[in-house]
Amino acid sequence: MRILVIRFSSIGDIVLTTPVFRLLKARFPDAEIHWVTKASFAGVLDGNPNIDQVWKWDVESERSELKKNSFDFVVDLQKNARSRQVKWMFLGTPNATIAKENLKKIIWVVFKQHRLRKFSWLSKWLESRSFSDRCIDVLRVFGVEKDHQGLDFHIDSIDENEVISKLGAVTNFVCLSLGGSFFTKRLPRHKWQELIKGLNQNVVFIGGNSDMEEAFGLEKELLSNNFQFNLVNLVGKLSLKESAAVVKLSEGVITGDTGMLHISAALGKDIQLLWGNTIPEFGMVPPIKNGTSLIQNEVTGLGCRPCSKLGFDACPNGHFKCMNNLQI
C-alpha cells in the first residue's frame, strides 16, 4: 500500500501532523508513507522513521517525478487550492481531507474574547478542535483512533553534539524562544527582561536571523545590569534542528505561539506559553506528553483581542497590551 500525505506549511503545523504518520505506519506497517510539502519545510521531519519519501512540490523536477507515481490513498491535511492540485494529479485515487474551522476563528476576531467568554456555552461551541486531533480525524476512514502519544520530532546526534559544544559548560538552563512569525506574537524586550530577572536561572536564547538585533539588545541590557547567571545568546546561529537540540537539553521552555512551541511539546518539555494577539480557542495548543506541563499566560478582557487569526507586523491599536500587560 502507498499513501501520500499533503501538508505544505508551516513548521509548527507540520509538527502537529506527526501523529498521522505514526498512526498510518502502525495501522499499515508495510505501507510506503509519502509526504509532499514545500521545499523550505522538507527538512522539518528529517529522521522521522514513519516517512518513507518526501516530495518538494515547488521544485519542478520533483513535482514531475511525483506525477509518475501512483498511490492507494491521499491524505490532505492542508485543504487549499494547492492541495487540490495534488489530488487532481491523482484523480480517481481515494482521499480524505481535514476539516477546517476558519469560520470559528473569524467569529472570535470579529466579536472578541472579552464578549464571547462571558457565555461559557457559546465560547465552548466556538472553540476550534485541536488541529492535531483534526488531522487524526482524517484517518477514521481506516478505523484509526488517537493513541495519546503526542507529537514526534527527531534530532540527529550530530546536531545535539554541535549544540553541546556551543553551550560550553552551561547547564541547568531555561530556553527562551524569542522569535515569532509576527510581531504581535513576540514578547517585547522589557517584558523579557522582567521575566528573566524573575527566573534566577541560567538562560539560553534561540531564534532566527530576524531576531538577532532584539536578542543582542536584550543580552546587552541584562549584562550591563549585572545579570548573575549564565546567559548564552544563540539567536541566528543555529539551524532548526540545532535550536530543537537546545530545547531538548533545557530544563524548560518559554515561548510564544510559534513553531518552537510545538517542537517543545514533541520533545516532552515543560512549557510556559505566552499568548499575544492569538488565543487558545484557535485550536493550536499542542498535546503534551505524560509527566510534562504547559502553562498558558494571556491577558484576558481586552476589547481588541484576538485582532487576527494569524498576526500583524505591528499592533493595530499601537498599545500592544496583549503582551505589554502580560503577567508571568
pLDDT tens-digit readout, 93-143: 999 999 999 999 999 999 999 999 999 999 999 999 999 999 999 999 999
**Predicted confidence band at 218 (pLDDT cuts at 50, 70, 90)?**
very high
pLDDT at 217 over 90: yes
Q: In whole angstroms, give the CA distance from residue 207 to residue 186.
A: 11
pLDDT, residue 328, reads 83
CATH of 157-324, one of 3.30.420.40, 1.20.1530.20, 3.40.50.2000, 3.40.50.300: 3.40.50.2000
The whole-number average pLDDT for the span 226-235 is 95
Helices (H), the chain: 11-16, 18-27, 60-67, 81-89, 102-111, 113-116, 120-126, 131-137, 157-167, 189-199, 212-224, 240-249, 259-266, 321-324
Confidence of residue 216 (pLDDT cuts 50, 70, 90): very high
| pLDDT tens-digit series, residues 151-209 | 999 999 999 999 999 999 999 999 999 999 899 999 999 999 999 999 999 999 999 99
pTM of the predicted structure, to 2 decimals: 0.96
pLDDT in tens, 263-318: 999 999 999 999 999 999 999 999 999 999 999 999 999 999 999 999 999 999 99
Residue range 2-142 forms a domain whose CATH class is: alpha beta
Question: Rounded to whole angstroms, how far apart are CA atoms 85 and 63?
Answer: 11
Do 2-142 and 157-324 fold alike per CATH? yes
Domain ranges of the chain: 2-142, 157-324
> What's the CA dihedral at 242, 265, 282, 118 to 10 degrees?
-130
- Looking at residue 143, its pLDDT comes to 97
pLDDT at 3: 98
Per-residue pLDDT at 115: 97
